[in-house]
Structure 1
């Protein structure tokens, strides 16, 4: 019985040490990462970074940039986050109509190491006719 208890204590200790190492290794904020998605005459691009409080694996993924259109019609950037094996639920982040550009800014809270933000550019203000989703 004492051996089982000792083994259990060591297993708990090892798990705590491993967890502390993972939290210490998780950077408070990773370096900004460039992203770009396009469809037909519109392109959205910018940078993304993680805002993470100390000693946690969760953070907020923040993207900023521009949606540019060089042709006629309206185009929208749709963004969402896939968590684990759950596909993203997209929401419209920016829209531009005609030639010009629109600012892009989105925040994705509860962002974990198993999360991936995706974006896609779509014709119009719905996400029925879109380019392929790309990681942001």
Structure 2
């Protein structure tokens, strides 16, 4: 069980998506440094890490290569497949669906075509004559 949302919060059981080998909680920064960024290097998305003044290996990245992009990818897939903004806001942990709509509305580029097709299907569907 882990405290959720704040260090002294209520203990809750959650299935973790990413865990250490011992089953413990994997923090975002640790995941980023040990899994995410090495994967980006292997895919040639970012360069090999360079040593800083203390000799520690540091990756050169921007926000565009961060793990937060996984969240945007998830949201875009959900919206493209017709998940409602209200449901998506719950999945993302947003308190307000209006916030979700504000942040992710640009991920719905085909909304006009989907709306037109929906109306066409209702108004102009073939009917049996006879």
What range is the shorter-chain TM-score in? Answer: under 0.3
TM-score, structure 1 length as denominator? 0.20
Greater Rg by CA: 2
Q: Relative contact order (C-alpha < 8 Å, sep 6+): which is higher?
A: 1
Structure number with higher strand proportion: 1
Structure number with higher helix proportion: 2
